[in-house]
Chain A
Amino acid sequence: MSTEATTTPTTTTTTHGRIGDSALRPDGTLKVTGEFAYASDLWHDEMVWGVTLRSPHPHARIRRIDITDALTVPGVTAVLTADDVPGENAFGLEHADQPVLASEFVRYEGEPVALVAADHPETARRAAKRIQVDYEVLPAVTDARRAMDPDAPAVHRPGNLVRHLKLRRGEQSPAAPVVVSLDFEVGMQDQAFLGPESGLAVPAEDGGVDLYVATQWLHVDQRQICLALGMPPEKVRLVLAGVGGAFGGREDLSVHVHACLLALRTGKPVKMSYGREESFYGHVHRHPAYLTYEFGAERDGRLVYGRTSVVLDGGAYASSTAAVVGNAGTLGLGPYRFPSVSVDVYGVFTNNPPCGAMRGFGCVQAAFAHEALMDELADAVGIDRVAIRQLNGMREGDLNITGQVIDSAAPVGELLQIVADLPLPPPSDPSDIRALPGAVGNTTHGEGVVRGVGYAVTYKNVGFSEGFDDYATARVRLEMTGGEAVATVHTASAEVGQGLITVEQQICRTELGVERVVVHPKDTSVGSGGSTSASRQTYMTGGAVKAACEAVRTAVLDRAAGVLGRPAGELRLDGEKIAGASGEVLTGLAEVLGDDAVEETVEWRHRPTHAIDPETGQGDAHVQFAFSAHRAVVDVDVELGLVKVVALDTAQDVGKAINPDAVVGQIHGGSAQGMGLALMEEIVVTDGHVRNPSFTDYLIPTILDMPPMQVKVLEYADPHAPYGVRGVGEPPTISSGPAVAAAVRAATGRALRRVPIRPEHITGT
């Protein structure tokens, strides 16, 4: 593109750190000093601004849209509605059921209805307000538990069921001497990434479009954009812009098609950038869940059966609800051994905001229920809450509830023992109110404060499951530049803050022995890297980069073999040298390569997974499992219902820590996010309307809410995974919240069957 744009991402080069080192993030200093270019900083001198008009109603029929007034606003360059979508007016991750712009119906508050482009964002917003939409408001279904009632309004034809997962294993009328049960409810959590949705679409001379956007998976975006624009992939090119967090909230499209439509219509670059309020309407959230759990056990605490029924509120469109149902079902009883199981999980449509991917993906909701119930069981049989989990915890070689063999480390008992043995924090110092519940709110000087301790353990699938053909592509190039060996690694796999850039570099350095590794900007000119989600990128893109490096190495040694007249099998590539079997230097890389570059592209797959049986839910559904345990210590002001988390310690098996600092960072962040759901994070939705779309009233933990953590990392290599790695990002989000909730229950003696736990739940007022 001919451009004065300040948008082209720069390549990244650093020269230190192999796998196992804590290589410094190239974006770290920039982010801390405020210089990192996020997608919201995208700029083009000729750009106009796009805004979205959204539905104020959870459910309505659109009778008519009149854009006449909006078009008369000076500065407006385009106003688009559903009629202007040239391809299919539909997108979606699993099912294309969501209109790019609503045509006949709106199905949730905030659904996009029209677009405006103007020379200033404020002009565009004002013009959007002058679009007249004639709505016929329709009855809405906003209680997921009622969504499948025969008289419930249908959000879609033929009905409101997205997926029913049915899992049956073992004796179906089991009897057990000890039975515990509970109902649990989980509120709607937001990903609350700090960089709202943003992108810049630039029309190209070939009639296509270049889109710079913050996302989690460039190629799945590209596929959906092409469908809506009616264009082939070569005309729709995507480049990853600076991503300010994702957590699943960027798996679905947001500004993508809208910005491209406006750019193609106006012939100008179009920037779209949501504010915080719009962001709450502009991405999917974590599914609210209604869970009914029952466990039967022997008198000694050994589990006999588990029986669950779960309803997940999918909101108005399918998004990834079916896959979330898959996780909530196949993993929904936690990392325990159950002889008999009966599980039913329902994902349903409602007229609430669409829900989809968020870190932990169906396991988070389930873990609150199964961990609360394990505590109940411990109390019922009279044994320790750690011991009950160790007694029933999975071990390598066990079958999980879908009948899949856990064929690598499953250190449930050990992880629990580690956190149980960590030193406990001292009593809080009442002379520093920041250490007490309520902190500088000055609500207690120690009065009413009771300490509680809680434990939780989880396991989470890594990668995509149930037969999905999941792969990652990597291109690695090796050449001499300025007398130095330089590797360039090119993948389309999104760096969203998790640290993939350093992982790619560390693998190249390790495999090729080079110091300088250039990371090519992430774009669609190389094959798909798959989604930055499901804790999968270090495993998947890491595996692809490793394989591409191996292919490069083989090609270099083949060349060297030709030059040296020796079999390639006797040669080794060691940095800039070609060595023989006993390490003697035979020639240099420069001599072998000359001015040529060796470049290899590899499409890499994990071992296959399989669909589960529709009647029994049995099957080898998952690639890998990752385990973590948390111990939370809380001080609760039981009179006011305020909580101070004093300690949140954890142990996690990561297989192999490619970048140990980054691993610990993921564990810190994931733990904070899980704790947030336990204590404060909820999108409050009443009758289909979001009541708190702002960081004023959607609260996420501050530094005064999050304690310092003791983090213990185990490295039990998974023999099936590259370097033995195990996904890291999600397990902490799953086990931290239930541990916090358990600690609050321990302090208060209250049942607390809903999260987030609000002060009035503790005080009973």
Chain B
Amino acid sequence: MDFLQPTSWSEALDLRAERPDALPIAGGTDVMVELNFDRRRPGALLDLGRVPELSEWEADDGVVRLGAGVPYARVIDQLGAQLPGLAMAARTVGSPQIRMRGTVGGNLGSASPAGDAHPPLLAAGAVVEVASAARGSRDIPAADFYTGVKRNALEPDELIAAVRVPAATGPQQFSKIGTRNAMVIAVSAFACALHPDRRAVGTGIGSAAPTPRRAADAEAFLAGELQSAGLWESRAELPETLARAFGERVAAAASPIDDVRGSAAYRRHSLSVMARRAVTWAWSDLREAA
């Protein structure tokens, strides 16, 4: 197994094109597990850890461009204000050591339905910026990025450059169920974002379908109800019945399975509870901000 270690983005893309058998590695928190268990034996590892372009983030015109190699620990420390949902999700990732190594780009590359970063990216309406040496860069909305269990929309010669996430214009929440209180893979997870500027609601569901996914029907339902009840203007209290109906629609959007971590029925139930609570907190934050 070759070990490729580019030191610039263009070199990384060239190597990616030359070596379709290479497996990109960033923090290694997924890849090294696969290698250690002999589940994958790629012809080469493409280490992106020395590509300086990947390790920075910048904010411009209300959008945060988060380099694919920025670890969770920096998301927590530096982006809590602009990307609160993603920062909350980052806090639930593994242990402190894992958060120092693991990256949002790596989460996207692995595209596990249980990846903690996905629900807040979906809720915020993020766009994944990918690139190849041959065709340059292209944008893939997060909602189109996940194509199957641990599969994504990358072409074989493409790498993830960054994820562009609109900075929050309203409250965001992230909730994750695990059967212990830390260092746990999600049994189910939910993110929501209120976008008062465009009177919209964003959602993301984790660990409850073959891919991370939005609950589009629940988003439209809640945004519509808030609109028709005049709540976007009045900022009156969110009716509990509305929060509950939203939760039920979120649960209905999931296609969970029974596995060793939890039952399908529990996953669905927990999503309805998390969604109800999360949207209630988010709405309450919005009222307090007003």
Chain A positions near chain B (C-beta within 8 angstroms): 125, 275, 277, 434, 437-445, 447-448, 639-642, 644, 679-680, 684, 691-692, 696-697, 699, 701-705, 758-760, 763, 765
| Inter-chain residue pair count (beta carbon < 8 A) | 97
Q: Is the CB of B180 within 8 A of A701?
A: yes
Q: Is the CB of A275 within 8 A of B36?
A: yes
Q: Is the CB of B92 within 8 A of A444?
A: no
Give which listed residue, B174, B263, B281, contacts A445 with CB less than 8 A.
Answer: B281
Give which listed residue, A696, A705, A759, contacts B177 with CB less than 8 A.
Answer: A759
Q: Is the CB of A760 within 8 A of B265?
A: yes
Which residue of B is nearest A692, CB measured? B260
| B277 sits at the interface (CB 8 A) | yes
A703 and B268 CA atoms in complex are apart in Å by 29
Give which listed residue, A277, A439, A445, A697, contacts B181 with CB less than 8 A.
Answer: A439
Give which listed residue, B181, B185, B263, B269, contacts A705 with CB less than 8 A.
Answer: B181
From B38, B177, B179, B185, name the one whose CB has the most chain A CB atoms within 10 angstroms.
B179
Residues of A within 8 A of B274 (CB): 443, 640
18 contacts between A and B (CB under 8 A): A277-B37, A438-B175, A438-B177, A441-B176, A441-B178, A442-B174, A442-B176, A443-B177, A444-B277, A445-B277, A445-B281, A447-B277, A642-B179, A696-B185, A701-B180, A702-B182, A705-B182, A760-B269
Which residue of B is nearest A761, CB measured? B266
Residues of B within 8 A of A703 (CB): 182
A763 and B265 CA atoms in complex are apart in Å by 10
Q: Contacts A680-B179, A680-B180; is A441 near B92 (CB within 8 Å)?
A: yes
From A125, A434, A444, name the one whose CB has the most chain B CB atoms within 10 angstroms.
A444
Q: 6 closest Cβ contacts across the A-B interface?
A: A439-B181, A760-B266, A765-B269, A704-B181, A704-B182, A441-B176
Q: Is the CB of A440 within 8 A of B182?
A: yes
Q: Is the CB of A699 within 8 A of B265?
A: no
Q: Is the CB of A639 within 8 A of B273?
A: yes
Q: Is the CB of A442 within 8 A of B181?
A: no
14 more contacts with CB within 8 A, not counting A699-B180, A759-B179, are A125-B38, A440-B181, A441-B175, A441-B184, A443-B177, A447-B277, A684-B260, A691-B260, A701-B180, A702-B182, A702-B183, A703-B182, A760-B265, A763-B266
Q: Is the CB of B277 within 8 A of A443?
A: yes
Q: Is the CB of A640 within 8 A of B177?
A: yes
Residues of A within 8 A of B268 (CB): 765
Q: Contacts A125-B38, A759-B187; is A702 near B181 (CB within 8 Å)?
A: yes
- Number of B interface residues, CB 8 Å? 33
Closest-CB distance, B227 to chain A (whole angstroms)? 26
As a 0/1 sequence over residues 236 to 275 of chain B, the CB contacts with chain A under 8 angstroms (1 = contact) are: 0000000000000000000000001111011011100110
A722 and B58 CA atoms in complex are apart in Å by 69
Residues of A within 8 A of B270 (CB): 640, 759, 763
Closest-CB distance, A555 to chain B (whole angstroms)? 55
| B54 sits at the interface (CB 8 A) | no
Which residue of B is nearest A444, CB measured? B277
Q: Is the CB of B182 within 8 A of A443?
A: no
Closest-CB distance, B12 to chain A (whole angstroms)? 27
A439 and B281 CA atoms in complex are apart in Å by 16
As a 0/1 sequence over residues 86 to 104 of chain B, the CB contacts with chain A under 8 angstroms (1 = contact) are: 0010011000000000000
Q: Contacts A439-B181, A699-B184, A705-B182; is A759 near B260 (CB within 8 Å)?
A: no
As a 0/1 sequence over residues 163 to 196 of chain B, the CB contacts with chain A under 8 angstroms (1 = contact) are: 0000000000111111111111101000000000
Residues of A within 8 A of B261 (CB): 697
A563 and B183 CA atoms in complex are apart in Å by 68
A448 and B178 CA atoms in complex are apart in Å by 17
Closest-CB distance, A126 to chain B (whole angstroms)? 8
Closest-CB distance, B238 to chain A (whole angstroms)? 14
Q: Is the CB of A439 within 8 A of B266?
A: no
Residues of B within 8 A of A448 (CB): 273
Which residue of B is nearest A125, CB measured? B38
Give which listed residue, B38, B260, B266, B281, contacts A697 with CB less than 8 A.
Answer: B260
A457 and B56 CA atoms in complex are apart in Å by 56
From B175, B180, B265, B266, name the one whose CB has the most chain A CB atoms within 10 angstroms.
B180
Residues of B within 8 A of A758 (CB): 179, 262
Residues of A within 8 A of B88 (CB): 442
A702 and B183 CA atoms in complex are apart in Å by 8
Q: Is the CB of A441 within 8 A of B177?
A: yes
Residues of B within 8 A of A759 (CB): 177, 179, 187, 262, 266, 270
Q: Contacts A277-B37, A640-B273, A691-B260; is A441 near B266 (CB within 8 Å)?
A: no
Closest-CB distance, A630 to chain B (whole angstroms)? 20
A584 and B183 CA atoms in complex are apart in Å by 64
A444 and B38 CA atoms in complex are apart in Å by 39
A692 and B38 CA atoms in complex are apart in Å by 17
Q: Contacts A277-B37, A691-B260; is A644 near B177 (CB within 8 Å)?
A: no
Residues of B within 8 A of A640 (CB): 177, 270, 273-274
A437 and B177 CA atoms in complex are apart in Å by 10
Q: Which of B22-51 contact A (CB under 8 A)?
A: 36-38
A684 and B179 CA atoms in complex are apart in Å by 14
A527 and B143 CA atoms in complex are apart in Å by 68
Which residue of A is nearest B270, CB measured? A640
Closest-CB distance, A676 to chain B (whole angstroms)? 9
Q: Is the CB of B281 within 8 A of A702?
A: no
Residues of A within 8 A of B180 (CB): 679-680, 699, 701-702, 704-705
Q: Is the CB of A644 within 8 A of B269?
A: no
Closest-CB distance, A355 to chain B (whole angstroms)? 19
Closest-CB distance, B204 to chain A (whole angstroms)? 14
